[in-house]
Homo-oligomer: A and B are copies of this chain.
Amino acid sequence: MEDKFVIGVDLGGTKIYTVLAGADGRVLTAVKVPTEAAGGRDHVLKRIMQTMEQVREQAGVPGRLVRATVVGAPGPLDASRGVVYQAPNLGWQNVPLTQLMEEATGIPARLENDANLAALGEHVYGAGRGETDLVYITVSTGIGSGMILDGRLYRGVGGGAGEIGHMTVLPDGPPCSCGNRGCLEAMASGSAIAREARSLVAQGKGKAILAAGGGRPEVDAEAVSAAAAAGDPEAIFIIAEAARFLGIGLANVLNLLNPALVILGGGAMKIGSVVFEGARSEMQKRALAAAYDRVKLVPAQLGGRAGAMGAVALALQCLVPEGMAGS
Contact = CB atoms under 8 A, between A and B. Distances in A.
A152 interface: yes
Interface string A144-177: 0100011010111111111110111111000000
A167 B180 CA distance: 19
How often does this chain occur in the complex, in copies? 2
Interface string A289-315: 011011100000000000000000000
A52 interface: no
Contact of A158 (B76, B162, B252, B290): B290
Interface stretch (A42-50, A104-112, A256-264): A256-264
Interface in A242-285: 245, 248, 251-253, 255-260, 285
B178 A288 contact: yes
Interface of A: 76, 132-133, 145, 149-150, 152, 154-164, 166-171, 178, 180, 245, 248, 251-253, 255-260, 285-286, 288, 290-291, 293-295
A312 B260 CA distance: 29
5 contacts: A149-B154, A157-B260, A158-B293, A160-B288, A168-B169
B260 A166 contact: no
A255 B256 CA distance: 13
A256 B251 CA distance: 13
Contacts of A160: 258, 288, 290-291, 294
Contact of A258 (B132, B149, B155, B171): B155
B288 A166 contact: yes
Contact of A150 (B154, B159, B162, B258): B154
